[in-house]
């Protein structure tokens, strides 16, 4: 009835260790905020030559000091111009910032201030639910319900009235449906998710998308009611394909079928690494983890192929590891070689 663990995926945890310092540092850098400017002129004030994308098609903020941007600079310094241009495909697209448990208020403030100064929206991911990832590569999360509520309160205070789009808790609903998360934790988790949606939606300019699995997971019938219990009716919609590889067409089909069961809610699709679709070789239980031969997917944009799809977004940051498999570093750590292969794969 339920998907095998092979369709699960880890998101990142430890990779956010540098986000606070980077965000606060970048807060002083901006473009002038004219949404009609060209891509080139918008990037004039950005650090390391990293540009913002045109706001009309892509309202999300590009972090000019992210891991990909640092790799571009290092490759250019080493005279590896061709490789630098490949990694620039990642560095100049907006990717989500994953909020770590410590100092959620300061992180959120730093990111949203930097995005606002660039006249863009911050794209944030909340990934701190207690008993996260069933103790796998990205296991952890808040110590208990009260710690999680404090984390969300800090996040909301940090965002304030500035524009932000929040992807809420990858896998949190899915792992209750597939019984990966023990049933004894379900009631509290539903309450925490519903409370997080309500808290974040009380903010003036914040959109919230509750995570809803992926096209390879199972039937929308299985997750529609749990999504409703978790508060999707109060959210702006739901997210699909986070940190996964299913094609955009398959993700649209899955999302539309699910949408019809949850009040015709719109959704966003993570297209960060789905350019070649899912990996179909090797151990089925590990196909989701650092699969070879993958490619970048559609660039982030609000100009999508279906009116129910609010945006294609890069929730998983291309080049950051899924976990310690297939030679990868810890979940969320930057993996330069994998990043380069993803970028090169998008040429084929």
Distance CA 6, CA 46 (A): 40
Q: Tens digits of per-residue pLDDT, 250-302?
A: 999 999 999 999 999 999 999 999 999 999 999 988 899 999 999 999 999 99
pLDDT at 137: 66
Task: Report DSSP letters for 92-121, one per residue.
Answer: TS-BPEEEPSTTHHHHHHHHHHHHHHTT-B
pLDDT at 140: 81
Distance CA 294, CA 280 (A): 11
pLDDT at 133: 74
Query: 324 and 330 in contact (C-beta within 8 Å)?
Result: yes
Compute the average pLDDT of residues 205-221: 95
For the question of residue 45 being annotated catalytic, the response is no
User: Which listed residue (58, 178, 250, 322) is catalytic?
Assistant: 322
Burial class from Cβ neighbours inside 10 Å (0-12, 13-18, 19+) for residue 332 reads buried
For the question of residue 221 being annotated catalytic, the response is no
Distances (CA, A) of 33 to 38, 50, 204: 11, 15, 20
pLDDT at 201: 98
Average pLDDT score, the chain = 87
What is the token pair recorded at 347? 């040429």
Query: 272 and 315 in contact (C-beta within 8 Å)?
Result: yes
Q: Tens digits of per-residue pLDDT, 95-113?
A: 999 999 999 999 999 999 9
Query: Which region among 41-50, 121-130, 253-262 has the lowest average model confidence (pLDDT)?
Result: 41-50
Band of pLDDT at residue 135, cut at 50, 70 and 90: low
β-pairing, 206-211 with 267-270?
Answer: unpaired
Distance CA 88, CA 340 (A): 10
- Which residue's structure tokens are 């899915």? 174
pLDDT at 134: 76
Task: Report DSSP letters for 280-318, one per residue.
Answer: -SS-GGGTTSS-TT-B--SPPBS--SSTTEEEEEB-S-T
Band of pLDDT at residue 213, cut at 50, 70 and 90: very high
β-pairing, 206-211 with 97-99?
Answer: unpaired
pLDDT at 15: 33
Residue 45 has pLDDT above 70, yes or no: no
Length reported for the chain: 348
Q: Tens digits of per-residue pLDDT, 139-179?
A: 789 999 999 999 999 999 999 999 999 999 999 999 999 98
Q: Tens digits of per-residue pLDDT, 177-200?
A: 998 999 999 999 999 999 999 999
pLDDT at 162: 98
Distance CA 154, CA 146 (A): 12
For residue 135, how many other CB atoms are within 10 A of its CB? 12
User: Which listed residue (65, 83, 121, 133) is catalytic?
Assistant: 133
User: Which listed residue (65, 171, 211, 250) is catalytic?
Assistant: 171
pLDDT at 44: 31
pTM of the model: 0.87
Residues 6+ apart with CB under 8 A from 191: 145
Residue 46 has pLDDT above 70, yes or no: no
β-pairing, 237-240 with 267-270?
Answer: parallel
pLDDT at 348: 58
Instruction: Map residue 202 onto helix, strand or coil.
Output: coil
């Amino acid at each position: 009835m339920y998907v095998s663990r092979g369709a699960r995926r880890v998101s990142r945890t430890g990779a956010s260790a540098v986000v606070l310092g980077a965000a606060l540092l970048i807060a002083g850098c901006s473009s002038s905020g004219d949404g009609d400017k060209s891509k080139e002129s918008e990037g004039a004030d950005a650090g390391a030559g990293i540009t913002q994308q045109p706001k009309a098609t892509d309202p999300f903020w590009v972090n000019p000091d992210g891991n990909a941007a640092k790799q571009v600079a290092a490759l250019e310094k080493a005279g590896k111009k061709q490789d630098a241009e490949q990694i620039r495909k990642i560095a100049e697209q907006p990717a989500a910032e994953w909020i770590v448990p410590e100092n959620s208020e300061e992180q959120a403030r730093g990111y949203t201030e930097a995005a606002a100064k660039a006249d863009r929206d911050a794209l944030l991911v909340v990934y701190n639910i207690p008993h996260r990832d069933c103790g796998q590569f990205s296991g952890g999360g808040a110590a208990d319900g009260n710690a999680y509520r404090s984390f969300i309160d800090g996040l909301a205070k940090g965002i304030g009235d500035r524009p932000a789009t929040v992807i809420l808790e990858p896998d949190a609903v899915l792992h209750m449906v597939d019984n990966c998360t023990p049933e004894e934790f379900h009631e509290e988790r539903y309450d925490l998710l519903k409370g997080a949606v309500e808290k974040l939606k009380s903010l003036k300019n914040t959109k919230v998308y509750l995570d809803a699995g992926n096209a390879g997971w199972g039937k929308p019938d299985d997750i529609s009611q749990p999504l409703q219990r978790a508060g999707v009716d109060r959210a702006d919609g739901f997210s699909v394909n986070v940190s996964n590889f299913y094609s955009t067409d398959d993700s649209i089909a899955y999302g539309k079928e699910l949408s019809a069961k949850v009040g015709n809610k719109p959704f966003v699709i993570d297209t960060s690494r789905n350019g070649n679709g899912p990996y179909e070789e090797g151990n089925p239980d590990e196909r989701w983890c650092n699969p070879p031969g993958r490619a970048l997917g559609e660039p982030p944009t609000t100009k999508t192929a279906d009116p129910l799809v609010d945006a294609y977004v890069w929730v998983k940051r291309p080049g950051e590891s899924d976990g310690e498999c297939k030679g990868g570093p810890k979940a969320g750590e930057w993996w330069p070689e994998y990043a380069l292969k993803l970028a090169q794969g998008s040429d084929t």
